[in-house]
Amino acid sequence: MSIFRKVANFIGWSSPDRLDTEIDIDIKLYDKLRIFRLPFILIVLLMLIGTVGYIAFSGFSISDAFYQAGMTFTTVGFTEVAKITPAGRIFTIVFIIFGFLAFTFSLGLVIEAFRNGEIFGLVKERKMIYEVARLKNHFVICYHNLYTIELAKQFRENHIPFVVIDNREDLPQIAEEQKYPYFIVGEPHNEKSLLKTHLSSAKGVIALSSNIADNIAIVATTRLYEKELGKLHPYYIVVASENDSDAEKLKKLGANSVLSPSKLAAQRISAISARPDMENILDKLLYKKDALIDIEEIRVPDMSWVRFKRIKELRLDESKNCKIIGIHDENSKFTPMPDDDIIIGTGSKLLLVGTADGIRATRALILRKNKPEEMRYV
């Protein structure tokens, strides 16, 4: 957008065009700034009247008349650039009165515009939206609560980008206290608010509201937007729910995973109670960012070279420090600890365990279309 178009938008001579971003906060900002149009026009008009008046009544040149009008209008009154005629002095007095009235009126408009803080709020929101627009493969966390605080800590430790969205007015203060790098103040189930999180480039959405209606609205809105975009990789949607019937509704609407925080906590306590010696094993091996081992499920693409190969042909134990501990076939049948002679079919999902580097290397190996050169003669 050119500087001339921005000025035209500011003074209201044209409607602002949308930028290439999902949400153009400038539209709201221009709307709030339109209150400054009248002072701007008054200043230009009075300077024009003053310049013409000094030319007409005192015979000033254009430059002298403009200079004298500026000093008179601003009540500086430094000096007279040339002799002013009696008619010019009368004009000066009238010009000063109108200039003072215009200045007082304009000052009142400016104070009223900044008094409620909306303009400063929009400027800060605009800055945040443009920062969020740089994110890719991030998660949108809907609603701030205790779960959000803990989840944000885990995401920061594992360098996973995320945006927190909530309609709380004190969210900026909360974000500073809890070290949320990016946040949006707005209703999470509102489409425009979700778009401010740069949803088109997000990896997934996490809905943590205690109200099932809010979570349903978030899932439905996200899936509808996904269809409009025609995304190749669907959003991964995680929802919190304390009710089994609600969980079924959310899954039918399109949630990938519905978790019950209280049930998860109960399962963890039960496991710890049954095997106290295993209390911290998962924390040490899986959940920390510098964990010794990792676990991940990888889908075999349709064009992957590993299709119709036996597990032993991949030689993951030797080359990648990784092992297949389970396979979901195309019919979703799960085979735990599969035999090395099992053939990997189309659409299979491989459950892998190994080092983080080993799993990354295995993922790259599986996604290849052609068999690696070093394995052609093995």
Q: What is the CATH number of the domain that holds 149?
A: 3.40.50.720
Residue 13: pLDDT band (50, 70, 90) is very low
Residue 92: its pLDDT value, please?
Answer: 87
- Please state the domain count of the chain: 3
Q: What is the mean pLDDT of residues 127-138?
A: 88
Domain identity same for 166 and 101: no
> Using CA of residue 85, residue 90, residue 94, residue 99, what is the dihedral sign?
positive
User: In terms of domains, do 106 and 168 share one?
Assistant: no
Note whether 140 and 113 are same-domain residues. no
In a domain, 236, yes or no: yes
Do residues 42 and 96 both lie within one domain? yes
Tell me: the pLDDT tens digits for 47-73?
Answer: 999 999 989 888 888 988 898 888 888
Assess whether 52 and 166 both reside in one domain. Answer: no
Adjacency order of strands within the sheet including 236-240: 183-185, 162-166, 139-142, 204-207, 236-240, 257-259
Which residues have C-beta within 8 Å of that of residue 359, sequence separation ≥ 6?
294, 295, 296, 320, 322, 352
Contact by Cβ (8 Å): 297, 352: yes
DSSP calls for 33-55: HGGGHHHHHHHHHHHHHHHHHHH
> What average pLDDT is seen over the chain?
80
Strand, coil or helix: 220: helix
Who's near 249: CB < 8 A, 6+ residues apart?
Answer: 212, 216
pLDDT-derived band at 118 (thresholds 50, 70, 90) equals low
Residue 34 has pLDDT above 60, yes or no: yes
Q: Which residues contact 271 (CB under 8 A, 6 or more apart)?
A: 278
Pair 101, 141 in one domain: no
The kind and range of the H/E element at 360 are helix 356-367
> In this structure, is residue 283 part of a structural domain?
no
With b for 16 or more beta-carbon neighbours within 10 A and e for fewer, the 206-232 pattern comes to bbbbeebebbbbbbebbbebbeeeeee
Range of the domain at 254: 134-259
pLDDT score, position 10 = 46
Last residue of one domain, picked from the residues 108, 125, 142:
125
Indicate whether 116 and 153 sit together in one domain.
no
Q: Are residues 213 and 300 in the same domain?
A: no
What pLDDT does residue 138 have? 94
Residue 127 has pLDDT above 90, yes or no: no
Mean of the pLDDT values across residues 15-34?
A: 54
Tell me, yes or no, whether 44 lies in a domain. Answer: yes
Q: Are residues 114 and 181 in the same domain?
A: no
Distance CA 68, CA 56 (A): 13
- CB contact at 8 A, 167 and 161: no
Question: What is the pLDDT at residue 284?
Answer: 52
Mark whether 22 and 39 lie in a shared domain.
Answer: yes
- CA dist 112 → 7, 10, 109, 256 (Å): 22, 18, 5, 49
Does the residue 101 lie in any domain? yes
Of 98, 125, 152, the last residue of a domain is 125
Residue 324 lies in a domain: yes
Phi/psi of residue 265, nearest 5 degrees: -65, -40
Please state, for a pLDDT cut of 70, what percent of the chain lies above it.
Answer: 80
CATH number at residue 80: 1.10.287.70
Which of 285-294, 330-339, 362-371 comes out lowest in average pLDDT?
285-294
One DSSP character per residue, 126-193 reads HHHHHHHTT--S-EEEES-SHHHHHHHHHHHHTT--EEEEE--TTHHHHHHHHT-SSEEES-TTSHHH
Q: How far apart are CA 317 and CA 312, in angstroms?
A: 9
Q: How confident is the model at residue 11 (pLDDT cuts 50, 70, 90)?
A: very low
